A and B are shown apart, each in its own frame.
Chain A
């Protein structure tokens, strides 16, 4: 046995392979699962802080009357300012010469004073001047909250006369943070529920059409359904808000301006990107269901609607669970699009002053404002716990709950199965798809072509773009290196208990809202004090894209008969040779699909990025920033560039996977 053979035998040895799998599992647990769930430990380590900053009522605002001797200046000072309200301070004076009043609010940030508000006026005679920071003013609103000072200086031409300074706290609202969290989560869950119900109602007939019917142009409809998936949600939010909503200061050609309710708009937006998941999950399972059952029921005299309701639907549950969990989790987790849409409906307002907040946007706003660590940890913790519980409940309810499907109503169902009704159902499905999905998704083009061009900061755009691509590329490579072996272990592992547990754990980062995941990751790596923004962003993106690769590859591995691998082994092939020649050729398209999904998801993600570091410069964050600042034209151009890039990757994926289907 020569040296080379010895080495290759060593690499193929059982111990080395076991070691490699152990490494992959440790990677998964330490880099994906533990950071994702780390926030839960805060309930033990930070309970006092939670009680102090989340559960207790904020202190009442104390007002004090201040009188300065010089020029008889009087005003009422307050120790707390609520940034969601318009704030004013009225200064009365008596002067004989021209005098300057300078009012400044500074916040302490790492010991540095940063100016949050500053205004200077020149006054003369007797009167009063009111300094106003409006909650709805583009330039005079508060961006941050925290502790600092407010200062009034009085000066005249010859110099400083007097300075007054007192500590002040800027805070958001007079509600208890707990109430804010409660309301935001309530809004999030109500929206997710409504969106899921609408997705199911509209998605089921569409899935049916795509699987059971043949018509001209089906191929194109099939591609159209997936389109919103290729568009980053920040761009979708921007485009959808422009199409449906009343957006002050922006009225592109063709905008419907139908609603001024953020609640309705967010629902419309979330349908756009969750509907494709529902249709895909339902049609995947529908394809599996043997059409012979339906044929048998039809030949026994059941009208089509009865057949669908009593025969096919009950066989459907697995697909239904997947569809519902995916839609619900996506809606619950979405940040970028929701932020963009809310910003457009309430322009020139601080995020904390928006009339509506969802869980993820509240996390985003708090993270952006800074100084809300206990509140953030608490919100993320609640989100993680509730989604995990919900996942279990949905699974149990759908699998155990008996739908009243046995009862047969031949009369009405026969009527509804004939003539105009089925046609109407099909027509409505298409109408829904075009009006709710396709047009709002692409409405952004109308704005770019008809809107007023304004200068674009291409340097900023390209630097964001290259950072996004760098992150996406790095996480895709790491995902492949560790995700493929983990998928193989989950399906082929000899210890069934470990692989079942891993199988469940893999889904966790998929359903935990990404902003909660980001907070958790930030806490975990923050506690290690690595301090590198890029590393933090990469580890966050790694966690929520990892399941996409594992799920895809595990699905393909389950289809692959293990006897191929075993036979190859007995024929003398070492494990790596078997992987190269037998396993990989059979799963390569799923590996590719998983890689592309991970890549595009990373490219389009906002919530996790913002939650982990507040000033990370990825494209969606860049777009949301532009939208918030009211720079709509550059935002739209950035969106379109991102849409094109995502589109090319998606087309590539479809081309590849279709080839797999043929081959």
Chain B
């Protein structure tokens, strides 16, 4: 069974620690996504599993067998790189059958596997084409067929959709997952695109500075982020630092550093502690008229509007001086102009509370 167990894995390049004491279990047949900002160590992790880089310490087990001393070709792990790396001097057929031939299968079997894989990705008709004659999507499918035909049970995907245009990316996401499930493979998919991670994964690992900061289903990651960073990284959020005043029933009250009271979800944190509370920008309500309820109501002025197509992003300067963002769907966005006075409302059930991070809020939210 293709399951992967990684224990206390560490990789340092000189002084720079890329992977810091990682322990991960990937279940058989799971589609796992590693999500993280640029430089989090995602690609390094894949390269370690594939055997392309040697770890500083720690071990990797595939199907219970320690593979630390095995060269890449004996790990039976198919690696699909960002640029696909289709061999430029070989045609689609030669690329696809590279793995079986390299492993010394007999010609009939090579023929069968090559054909099966190319038909599966709808490229059999183009088997004589050279990679440069294919479109981006076809190249991606060719690379996938090549990776799948190599008899590997583990598929490592390094930002496989990055080089494609937006529309194609959406289509191929699902195809990728379906193929890997159909073939009974265990897949690890690396991406920095939170939307991609949320739609495709069985489970997401959020990686930052070489460490796992949260592991969970897409819903858990989105709704119950483990800290301000993930709250912000997976769907943007507005934050306030302050002191937890009281917890009553399913509500808590926080006195923000701006002097205002914020009503939030309940929390297990001890009252009196320094905390951070945040709300995703799409749950930040913005109206021209004053909101009916009394709590979490603020006024401010629209400074800037960013048109994003289906959404618009509003930058609002609250009267307390704080800058916040609100995200409105297109049909509502047309009602507002830069300079308009607006009312902002945070629903308490959407406001998550975290202990204040060690380095302060600003440092916590830094992407790199």
Contacts and interface: CB of A to CB of B under 8 A. Distances in A.
Given A566-B52, A586-B89, A572 B73 contact: yes
A585 interface: yes
Contacts of A573: 73, 98-99, 102
B137 interface: no
A571 to B, nearest CB: 4
A567 B81 contact: yes
Contact of A568 (B47, B76, B98): B98
B85 A564 contact: yes
A539 to B, nearest CB: 36
B103 interface: yes
A585 B89 contact: yes
Q: How large is the interface on B (under 10, 10 to 19, 20 to 34, 35 or more residues)?
A: 20 to 34
B102 A568 contact: yes
A569 B52 contact: yes
B73 A581 contact: no
A14 interface: yes
Contacts, number: 76
A569 B85 CA distance: 12
Interface in B52-100: 52, 54, 69, 71-79, 81, 83, 85, 87-89, 98-99
Q: Which residue, of B51, B72, B75, has the highest number of chain A Cβ atoms within 10 A?
A: B72
B140 to A, nearest CB: 14
Given A572-B102, A573-B102, A9 B146 contact: no
Given A9-B74, A12-B73, A577-B102, A571 B146 contact: yes
B87 A569 contact: no
Contacts of B152: 570, 572
A581 B85 CA distance: 14
A358 B52 CA distance: 53
Given A563-B85, A564-B87, A570 B71 contact: no
B98 A569 contact: no
B85 A567 contact: yes
B151 interface: yes
Contact of A571 (B47, B69, B71, B147): B147
Nearest to A574: B73
B50 interface: yes
Nearest to A14: B71
Nearest to B79: A570
Contact of B52 (A12, A564, A570, A571): A570
A529 interface: no
Contacts of B85: 561, 563-564, 566-567
A575 B103 CA distance: 12
B190 interface: no
Interface string A573-616: 11101000110011000000000000000000000000000000
A572 B151 contact: yes
Interface string B34-58: 0000000000000100111010000
Given A571-B102, A572-B151, A582 B87 contact: yes
B83 A561 contact: yes
Contact of A581 (B50, B81, B98, B156): B98
Nearest to B143: A567
Contacts of A575: 71
Contacts of A254: none
A566 B99 CA distance: 12
B79 A567 contact: yes
A571 B74 contact: no
A571 B81 contact: no
A572 B148 CA distance: 12
Nearest to B52: A566
B230 interface: no
Given A563-B85, A572-B151, A12 B71 contact: yes
Contacts of A571: 73, 78, 98-99, 102, 146-147, 150
A90 B99 CA distance: 91
Given A9-B74, A12-B71, A566-B72, A572 B83 contact: no
A573 B73 CA distance: 6
Nearest to B77: A570
Nearest to A663: B89
Contacts of B150: 570-572
Interface in A1-32: 9, 12-14
A38 B102 CA distance: 46
B60 to A, nearest CB: 14
Q: Which residue, of A9, A573, A575, A586, has the highest number of chain B Cβ atoms within 10 A?
A: A573
A592 to B, nearest CB: 16
B16 to A, nearest CB: 13
Interface of A: 9, 12-14, 494, 561, 563-564, 566-575, 577, 581-582, 585-586
5 contacts: A12-B73, A566-B85, A569-B51, A570-B152, A570-B156
Given A14-B69, A585-B89, 6 more contacts: A566-B47, A566-B85, A568-B102, A570-B72, A571-B146, A572-B152
Pairs A-B, 6 closest by C-beta atoms: A573-B102, A571-B99, A569-B72, A570-B79, A567-B85, A563-B85
